[in-house]
A and B are shown apart, each in its own frame.
Chain A
Amino acid sequence: MGTTQRNFSVVGKGAHVKDAREKVTGSLKYAVDLKVQNMASGKILRCPHPHAKIVRIDTSKAEALPGVLGVLTHEDVPQNDWESAWFNYRGKALDGTGRFVGDDIAAVAAQSEEIAEHALELIDVEYEILPHVLDMEKARESGAPEIRCEGNERDPYIVKWGDTDEGSAQADFTVDCDIFYESQQYAPLGRNACIAEWLGDKVTVWTSSQTPSELRDGVHEALGIPLSKVRVMAMPCGSSFGQWWSNNFMIITVLLARKIRQAVKIELTNEECMATVKRRHLERTRGKMGCTKDGQITFAQIDHLIDNGGYGFKDDVGFFCVDMWGKARNGHYAVHGINTNLVTAGCMRGVGDCTLGASVERLADRLAEKADMDPVDFRIKNQIVAGDELRMQHSRDNMKGNRDAYIASIPPHLRKDWPELFHLSAGGTRAILERGAEAFRWKERWKGWATPHTVDGPLKRAVGVGTGAHVCGVEFEGSSSAMVRINPDGSAKVHCAVGRQGRGSETTQCQVAAEELGLPLDMIEIETGDTDSCPWNHGSLASSTMYRTGWATRAASNDARRQLLEIAAREFFDGIAPEELDITDGEIHPKEEPRSNRRFTFSQVLNELRSETLGQTSSITGRPAVPMPPSTTFARQFGAQFAEVEVDVETGKIKILDFVAVQDSGTVVNPQVLKNQVIGGAICGAGFAIYEHLVFDEETGAIKNANLLDYKLLRCADFPHQAQVLFEESPDPVGPFGARGAGESPIAAGISAVSQAVYNAIGVWVDLPMTPERVVRALNAA
């Protein structure tokens, strides 16, 4: 194992990312850097109360201020709900009610930001204060203040198999937990801005977004205008990781621009980015797990709460991470999504994995200790491998009709390409755990549960291991597409609306197209932001870019290639079957004779296409001929990580000393791009494990540390620079050239590796984030 079976010419090669020069010279333009002619500045008035209804709003003083161009209130706003991807937002752009401190209330456009800010102070709002609830447990109780008309809690999301009572009876050891997770903030480096400009009844929107098509849909829904009148031009994002999808401030910008009939830019401050948009959910797991003496998990019973804040609407974070420990004989997982009067919560990198997934890892670790098993062995024994049945239910319930009807709806030639539904297609944790254990010298360094390998005065050092898994995109939210165009000169352009989140997917999508087309990489460019030229795409979320969009890019390239070879066969190769031709380095030649002198370039073929006999077509456009197979039902990415930590039992400070991360994302399309994702995930996970959390005001829920001074992030010296990343490449039967997703499993694995290592050092489990105070408190309590 370890490498793929196929020889590729572009895939798997360490190409530098295409925008590297723009990035290192500072010339890359993010949305904050963009200006358009005659652009006004917008600012948003924010709710000072956790829950309040506007009784009266008087904007006349603000409007009278010189330099003010207009004020937008809920009275100007169509009362249509709009939705962001994955239920990260559901509501109206402005509806006259504030549901958290900092919620959007109104907006001002002015000649300058300073004037707009001043005008905000002149808006006179009379609020009726409504009862509020910050605690998700209280928000569930009957008689709790109602935050949304749909109710504060909907039906739970449930995944179950077998019978947990039976599983419990079979168990020799049982553990339980009640773990509360603080909220992590995206804490983006870089802010976001949105510019909207109307020409007649059509609007163009520029903003940093991972999901341009979803934003176009959102504008369409909120304003009730045809999709054809909305053009989104997504710009590159600073570190986003789920924050910049389609966000309400973008919709407000569009409405404000429409009101003043002039282009408007709203640029969020750092504080607004951290306190008014989104955050990771506050979560709580109550769980039970049992195993036999030889370490076979007999049941997992999990009840998990997630707090969605004011406008989030999620309850499905569990359906993919439950598969990880799918060898448990019986399972029952329930996830409850609850609204509170806190800032909206949404999908942050590794949603569910970092909380529910981490709880399950912790339960499993505590069982492994009782069964006196090594945590690596315990994982190998109980975690899923290729071919195992998956446990999630959602896909089954959402298949068109039922499983048989769904299969019947897939074209027969695709059916054979994918594994049996509801079984893991490839990979698993065994190979990555074994590989990592060897590279980390686990057997030497692990001295048993709660046993440091070195004690040096107050300093205790130990190792830990953690695992993480995630889906690679989800199939029941629309079919992501791509388009590939071959130009008359033989160059090609990929169009896929995945935005530019910054990980390098522009480059990796081009690598996929280059491989399929047989073109050198520098002949391929890509458009990822313009919804007028790209077909609908879910965007880069849910780790779907390589797997789902990559599949579409490859399928579109394949379609273009087919058209090209048909013309070449007819016009240049005496009408032989197109399948007898191949392409190498941008030249078409007989398949059997790769070195033949009879070779023609793309441009020769396309110019033939332009000749009079063939009409005026000057380019070839390729599209996926069929929809993608239902990916959620069988594709997962896996990470296994190993950490060595040092804990100072006097100060409670944790230092990470060494780190090995092993990743199985199928075929590696670009090793350095993937390494960056894996290490970046591990660092974000380690940060969540030891520092990061938002502090909410107990009375109002206002965020007290919405700045990078008080919200601590890991820095360079906080993470070992010698950290190693290794790959296992179990080729996927569906993903492009065997590739799958990558970005989200590493963060989860990092959290569990660090927290287990801390336990092994000090013998006490500490709640996350394991800040120095909490470590000391946990030690004192023990």
Chain B
Amino acid sequence: MTMLKVNNRTLEVTSRPDRTLADVLRNDLGLIGVRVSCSEGECGSCTVLVGGEPCTSCLMLVNQAEGQDITTIEGIGSQDDLHPIQQAFIEEQGFQCAFCTPGFIMSAKAFLAENPNPTADEVSVAMSGNICRCGAYPYIVRSVLRAAEKLRKSSGQQAAE
């Protein structure tokens, strides 16, 4: 029995401890936004935040994540209430097939928390841990820049209030 804190809920999973976090999130908790492609930490499509840090969940064992805050794409916004980064990816169409998109958005979230006002070059380097086979890269960079702007605006508003 493992207790996982996922998207602000504490959930129980019965699982052998040698299963990967990605497997448990997808198959036991139904969080299919955790996409699995390479299973070897190369493509970034399974990126989730563990304790705020981006992690490739295909390489992490489920018991390593126990007790930490885990955030998946499902935890940051929904179809009716999009996160500003999700909104920005729609506006700049930073995807085609979108298999990579949740991973990019999670990487972007962690990156923008560290660097809220990045240059395009910085975004481009920061997004290079993930792969997009459809080659939406220039529009992914634009999406992240636009997201940064949105997030700065909303945190500016919050500060002013």
Contact = CB atoms under 8 A, between A and B. Distances in A.
* A, B: real partners: yes
A399 interface: no
A191 B138 CA distance: 24
B61 interface: no
Nearest to B32: A33
B125 A26 contact: no
B19 to A, nearest CB: 11
B97 A237 contact: yes
Contact of A716 (B38, B87, B128): B128
Interface in A668-689: 672-673, 675-677, 679-684
A190 interface: yes
Nearest to B92: A672
A722 to B, nearest CB: 7
A169 interface: no
B145 to A, nearest CB: 9
Contacts of A236: 97
Of A28, A33, A716, most buried by chain B (CB within 10 Å of CB) is A716
B74 interface: yes
A236 B128 CA distance: 25
B97 A708 contact: no
A721 B124 contact: yes
Given A190-B37, A675-B139, A707-B38, A680 B86 contact: no
Interface stretch (A501-509, A616-624, A628-636): A501-509
Contacts of B109: none
B44 to A, nearest CB: 10
Given A709-B42, A721-B137, A189 B105 contact: no
Contact of B139 (A269, A502, A503, A676): A676
Interface string A710-740: 0001111111111100000000000000000
B39 A719 contact: no
Nearest to B141: A721
Nearest to B39: A270
B82 interface: yes
A16 B93 contact: yes
Contacts of B137: 679, 683, 714-716, 719, 721
A37 interface: no
Contact of B102 (A26, A502, A717, A723): A26
Interface string B34-73: 1111111011010000000000000000000000000011
Contacts of B93: 16-17, 20, 504, 672-673, 676
A238 B99 contact: yes
B79 interface: yes
A666 to B, nearest CB: 20
Nearest to A236: B97
Given A190-B37, A238-B99, A714 B135 contact: yes
Interface string B68-109: 000011100111001000110111010111111110010000
A492 interface: no
A681 to B, nearest CB: 7
B141 A26 contact: no
Interface string A11-32: 0000011011111111111101
Contacts, number: 180
Contacts of A720: 138
Contacts of B96: 239, 502-504, 676-677, 680
Contacts of B101: 23-24, 26
Nearest to A746: B135
B47 to A, nearest CB: 11
Interface in B15-42: 26, 31-40, 42
A285 interface: no
A289 interface: no
Nearest to A188: B133
A238 B128 CA distance: 19
B96 to A, nearest CB: 5
A26 B138 contact: no
B128 A502 contact: no
Of B93, B105, B133, most buried by chain A (CB within 10 Å of CB) is B133
B74 to A, nearest CB: 6
Contacts of B89: 24
A680 B134 contact: yes
Contacts of A28: 98
Contact of B99 (A17, A25, A239, A723): A239
Contact of A708 (B37, B123, B128): B37
A708 B40 contact: yes
A419 B106 CA distance: 51
Contacts of A679: 135-139
A480 interface: no
A37 to B, nearest CB: 15
B40 A24 contact: no
Grouping DSSP codes into helix (H, G, I), strand (E, B) and loop, the B interface class, with mixed when no group exceeds half, is loop
Contact of B136 (A188, A676, A722): A676
Nearest to A681: B135
A492 to B, nearest CB: 23
B113 interface: no
B136 to A, nearest CB: 6
B3 to A, nearest CB: 23
Contacts of A672: 93, 139
Interface in A185-231: 187-191
Contacts of B142: 721
Contacts of B95: 23-24, 676
Contacts of A680: 96, 134-136
Contacts of B40: 270, 707-709
Contacts of B36: 32, 191
A502 B134 contact: yes
A240 interface: yes
B11 interface: no
Contacts of A17: 93
Contact of A189 (B33, B34, B79, B132): B132
B112 interface: no
Given A238-B37, A502-B134, A717-B125, A30 B99 contact: yes
A245 to B, nearest CB: 15
Contact of A26 (B35, B120, B130, B133): B35
B45 A190 contact: yes
B131 interface: yes
Interface string B119-161: 0110111011011111111111110000000000000000000
Contacts of B38: 270, 707-709
Contacts of A717: 124-125, 127-128
A24 B37 contact: no
Interface string A439-470: 00000000000000000000000000000000
Of A239, A707, A713, most buried by chain B (CB within 10 Å of CB) is A239
Contacts of B32: 26-27, 29, 33
B97 A238 contact: yes
Nearest to A713: B131
B78 A239 contact: no
Interface in A228-258: 236-241
B135 to A, nearest CB: 3
Interface of B: 26, 31-40, 42-43, 45, 72-74, 77-79, 82, 86-87, 89-91, 93, 95-102, 105, 120-121, 123-125, 127-128, 130-142
21 contacts: A20-B90, A21-B82, A23-B95, A24-B105, A26-B33, A30-B99, A33-B32, A189-B133, A189-B134, A190-B99, A238-B35, A239-B99, A270-B37, A502-B99, A503-B134, A672-B93, A673-B93, A676-B96, A680-B96, A709-B40, A716-B124
Q: In the A-B complex, list the 6 residue pairs whose CB atoms are closest, starting with the nearest.
A: A26-B33, A502-B97, A683-B135, A23-B98, A238-B99, A680-B135
Interface of A: 16-17, 19-30, 32-33, 187-191, 236-241, 269-270, 501-504, 672-673, 675-677, 679-684, 707-709, 713-723
